[in-house]
Structure 1
Amino acid sequence: MPLFMDVHTMDGTVGLDDVAQAHQADLRVQATHGVNYQRYWVDEQNGKIFCLVEAPDAAAAAQVHREAHGLVADEIWPVAEGE
């Protein structure tokens, strides 16, 4: 299945606990779209969130965020994992 990295740019800082809650919401919704949100990274000070996701396409990944919490990524990039 294709792998994507999405990038969220928040207005101001972002809390790690808030992102953890949003990720849990993604996990509750993802199966209905054939998506698997795997990991995320947070730059709290700069308001950046990065999510690694397996999805049929970028639209399916975005739909999970939209339904789960409404925080749709600003960018979604196809990626390949290296060793």
Structure 2
Amino acid sequence: MATYMDVHHGMVGITADQLREAHQADLAIEKDEGVHFERAWADPVSGTVYCLSTGPSPDAVQRIHDRTGHRADEIHEVPLMV
């Protein structure tokens, strides 16, 4: 399993409740693609949201986001972490 950081743009004004709802929607179906969403962060001012996940491929991560209505603008593999 690889680790991915995906980035969503254009979510200006996102609230903590909206972020939680989006993350929960991903968690509800993540197993369909063998993905696990670890955590999500947001900057409501810039409208940027970040999600950290593990999964078999960036395509699997994107398929979950597509199904829950918040397609990622970027997905980056994270090969090194401490």
TM-score higher than 0.5:
yes
Give TM class, smaller chain: over 0.9
CA RMSD of superposed structures (Å):
1.2
Quote the residue 2:36 is aligned against.
36
Structure 1 unpaired stretches of 5+: none
Quote the residue 1:12 is aligned against.
12
SS at match of 1:12: coil
SS at match of 2:76: strand
Hey, what's the Cα distance between the residues in 2 that align with 1:19 and 1:36?
A: 16
TM-score, scaled to structure 1: 0.91
Hey, what's the Cα distance between the residues in 1 that align with 2:14 and 2:41?
A: 11
Hey, what's the Cα distance between the residues in 2 that align with 1:35 and 1:76?
A: 13
Quote the residue 2:60 is aligned against.
60
Hey, what's the Cα distance between the residues in 1 that align with 2:11 and 2:55?
A: 27
Hey, what's the Cα distance between the residues in 2 that align with 1:58 and 1:38?
A: 15
Give 1:81 deviation, angstroms. 4.2
What amino acid does structure 1 have at the position aligned with 2:56? P
Contact 2:62 2:72 in 1 (8 A): yes
What amino acid does structure 1 have at the position aligned with 2:45? Q
CA change 1:19–1:11 in 2 (3 A) is: closer
Structure 2 unpaired stretches of 5+: none
Quote the residue 2:76 is aligned against.
77
Give 1:14 deviation, angstroms. 1.6
TM-score, scaled to structure 2: 0.92
